[in-house]
């Protein structure tokens, strides 16, 4: 065998073999249909990818909400530690009372009820008393979880309901 021949046929040179392979490659490429990707197919593929990412995030969020906030015992376990902190308890109490008084306009309603029920001599005291109601409710709210330890984190919510019920009864003039 000569150095310029390969294992192909006798007397075939490397250049001849290379040319033969190029022709064969061109013939095979001509037989295979050319694949074209449409822009619509590409667009819808990306849309589906984005939708699946959003759905995955939504599913993870749903599972988290289900296991933490909708499960009462887990929610209480998570929030109970926060409510026991004095600063957090004070801030929550103040926020709950301020929202309660703002939502139901309790200062004005208490003042109006006091003015209608008090004798003429004491009607001037209705405004300071109604202003003091919010100031009195805030410390009561911060002491409520300590007074009812079995309530735990829900003590704050029950305290808001208790103050709201008390205010509603006092405004309507009903006594229990």
Please report which confidence band the pLDDT of residue 46 belongs to, taking 50, 70 and 90 as the band edges. very high
Q: Quick one: pLDDT at residue 150?
A: 43
- pLDDT tens per residue, range 54-107: 999 999 999 988 888 888 888 777 777 777 777 877 787 788 888 888 888 888
Is the pLDDT at 159 greater than 60? The verdict is no
Q: Kindly write down the DSSP assignment for every residue of 110-158, as one continuous string.
A: HHHHHHHHS-GGGGGGHHHHHHHHHHHHHHHHHHHHHH-GGGTTHHHHH
Q: Quick one: pLDDT at residue 175?
A: 47
Token readout for 39 is 């822009």
Please report which confidence band the pLDDT of residue 12 belongs to, taking 50, 70 and 90 as the band edges. low
| Greater pLDDT, 77 or 26 | 26
Quick one: what percent of the chain has pLDDT higher than 70?
A: 73
Is the pLDDT at 26 greater than 80? The verdict is yes
Token readout for 71 is 């499960």
């Amino acid at each position: 065998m000569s150095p310029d021949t390969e294992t192909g046929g006798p007397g075939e040179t490397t250049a001849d073999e290379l040319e033969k392979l190029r022709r064969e490659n061109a013939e095979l490429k001509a037989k295979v249909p050319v694949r074209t990707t449409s822009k619509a197919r590409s667009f819808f593929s990306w849309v589906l990818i984005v939708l699946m990412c959003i759905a995955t995030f939504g599913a993870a969020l749903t599972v988290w909400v289900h296991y933490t906030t909708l499960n009462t015992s887990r929610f209480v376990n998570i929030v109970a530690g926060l409510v026991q902190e004095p600063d957090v308890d004070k801030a929550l109490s103040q926020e709950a009372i301020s929202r309660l008084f703002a939502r139901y306009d309790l200062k004005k309603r208490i003042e109006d009820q006091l003015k209608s029920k008090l004798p003429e001599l004491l009607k001037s005291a209705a405004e300071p008393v109604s202003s003091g109601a919010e100031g009195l409710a805030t410390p009561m709210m911060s002491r409520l979880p300590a007074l009812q330890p079995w309530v735990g984190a829900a003590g704050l919510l029950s305290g808001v309901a208790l103050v709201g019920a008390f205010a509603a009864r006092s405004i309507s003039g009903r006594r229990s």
